[in-house]
Structure 1
Amino acid sequence: MTTVYGVTRYGGVLQVQRQLLYLDDFPRQHSLKGAMYLVDALFQSINEIFTGASHIQKWFTDIARCVSRGGNPVEWETPLGLRVVQPYHSIMTQTMDTQLQRINFTRATTAPNVMKQTNAFPPNFIHSLDSTHMMLTALYCHKFGIKFSAVHDCYWTHACDVDIMNVICREQFVKLHSQPILEKLASHLKKFLKPAEPHDITNTLQEELLLSLLNNVPTKGDFDLNQVKNSVFFFS
Structure 2
Amino acid sequence: MCIRHVGYWFMGSKLRICVRNVNQGREISKEFILSQENRLRCIQKLKNMKPVRLSKQEPIRKAAVLVPLCVVNDEISLLYTLRSSDMKNYRGQVSFPGGLQDTSDSTLEDTAVRETFEELGIQKTDIDVWGHGSFVGTRQQDMAVMPFIGFLGEVCIQTLKLNEKEVETVFCVPLRHFTIPANCRYTQFRNGYVLPTFIGAEHRIWGMTALITHFVLNSLMPEGAYSLKLHYIKPIKLSKTEN
TM bracket (short chain): under 0.3
The structure richer in strand per residue is 2
In the superposition, the TM-score normalised over structure 2's length comes to: 0.23
Q: Which has the higher contact order (CA 8 A, sep 6+)?
A: 2
The structure richer in helix per residue is 1
